[in-house]
């Protein structure tokens, strides 16, 4: 018999798939790391299980405990899976710009969800960061993983995503591209890959309205860079500890519209039914590839999550028209 003892054992070992159509005119090969193949349908399963297991080892999470996190949804799903596997309760705080589907999914997995306003500063008492921190102080035997600053996040990618990509490309990878939110995915994977071959170039995908690109280029945290944007999961108005700027060579900013339109192209032209930040990552990676990729180069771009969570937005023509993203 071949079976897993729990669905969480199916996390990782996701497929690497060649992009064939959207890469027209690009020299070299562009491969997509398809993270919706994780059981929680996103890349965040990897770090969620690692944060929980590391917290257990450190004695921060004890039997009967409650996991409390501020999450855009995907980390919540990963934490909910880990909590089910190990018998914990979950409370998640989310910003109200997040897709309704993401909130419904967390509730379906037995978690309690607290919806908070999007357009308040991170240190405002109503922000989803502050509410998570407060609940953690109020609820006994609770654990606040804090995915932004918890280095188990980066470590999960150093231990799994990096080695998988190195093995799947037989060590031929020349460029690594991923969107940057907490920074765990890009930084942990990049650290592993650059240890194998220091010539590998890492391209971070940022959004307009986020601080990362300017910070990398000038070392300045420029509040003028911060404004509301719609893409979910990437870009930040803070500098999380998991963004290791030394492991990221350059940043490319992608607009909400360019990311959204590319997301739909990935579904229709490549058969990859992915989320918004996947479109952003591919759009940004290809912008870089157009200028810099040579024959024989191998670029890997990570697609973080699945399209079901965006049916009411990206995959809804009416919504796309209202935003002015399509005619």
Enumerate binding residues for ligand PMP (CB under 6 A): 44, 72, 74, 179-186, 232-234, 275, 277, 304-305
When the beta carbons of 65 and 190 are compared against ligand PMP, the nearer one is 190
| Alpha carbon distance 56, 142 (integer Å) | 12
Q: How far is the CB of 156 from ligand PMP (least distance, A)?
A: 9
Q: Can you spell out the DSSP letters for 179-227?
A: E-SSSHHHHHHHHHHHHH-TT-EEEEEEETT-SHHHHHHHS---GGG--
Whether the CB-CB separation of 241 and 188 falls below 8 Å is answered with: no
Name the minimum Å distance from CB 305 to ligand PMP: 4
User: Which residue is catalytic, options 21, 33, 44, 241?
Assistant: 44
Closest contact distance (angstroms) between CB of 65 and ligand PMP is 24
Task: Give yes or no: 44 in active site.
Answer: yes
Alpha carbons 32 and 22: distance in angstroms, whole number: 12
| Angle, alpha carbons 156-157-162 (nearest 5°) | 140
Shortest separation between residue 112's beta carbon and ligand PMP, angstroms: 20
Q: At 70, phi and psi to the nearest 5?
A: -90, 120
Query: Which element (helix H / strand E) includes 142?
Result: strand 142-143
Per the structure block, which two tokens stand in for 234?
């990437």
DSSP-derived pairing of the beta strands 16-18 and 29-34:
antiparallel
Cβ distance to ligand PMP smaller for residue 65 or 259: 259
Residues recognised as catalytic: 44
């Amino acid at each position: 018999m071949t079976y897993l003892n729990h669905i969480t054992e199916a996390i990782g070992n996701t497929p690497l798939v060649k992009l064939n159509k959207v890469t027209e005119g690009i020299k070299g090969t562009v491969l997509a790391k398809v993270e919706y193949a994780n059981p929680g349908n996103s890349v965040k399963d990897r770090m969620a299980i690692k944060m929980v297991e590391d917290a257990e080892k450190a004695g921060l999470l004890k039997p009967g405990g409650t996991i409390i996190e501020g999450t855009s949804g995907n980390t919540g799903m990963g934490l909910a899976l880990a909590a089910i596997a190990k018998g914990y309760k979950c409370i998640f705080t989310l910003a109200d710009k997040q897709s309704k589907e993401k909130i419904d999914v967390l509730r379906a997995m037995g978690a309690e969800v607290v919806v908070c306003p999007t357009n308040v500063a991170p240190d405002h008492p109503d922000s989803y960061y502050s509410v998570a921190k407060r609940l953690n102080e109020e609820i006994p035997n609770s654990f606040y993983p804090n995915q932004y600053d918890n280095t188990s996040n980066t470590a999960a990618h150093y231990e799994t995503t990096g080695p998988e990509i190195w093995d799947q490309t037989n060590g031929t990878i020349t460029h690594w591209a991923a969107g940057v939110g907490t920074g765990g995915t890009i930084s942990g994977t990049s650290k592993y890959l650059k240890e194998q071959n220091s010539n590998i170039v890492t391209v971070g995908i940022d959004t307009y309205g986020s601080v990362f690109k300017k910070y990398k280029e000038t070392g300045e945290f420029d509040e003028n860079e911060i404004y509301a944007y719609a893409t979910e999961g990437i870009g930040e108005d803070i500098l999380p500890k998991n963004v290791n700027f030394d492991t990221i060579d350059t940043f490319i900013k992608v607009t909400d519209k360019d990311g959204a339109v590319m997301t739909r192209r990935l579904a229709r032209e490549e058969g990859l039914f992915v989320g918004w930040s996947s479109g952003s990552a591919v759009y940004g990676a290809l912008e870089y590839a157009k200028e810099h990729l040579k024959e024989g180069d191998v670029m890997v771009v990570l697609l973080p999550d699945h399209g079901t969570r965006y049916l009411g937005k990206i995959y809804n023509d009416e919504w796309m028209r209202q935003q002015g993203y399509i005619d």
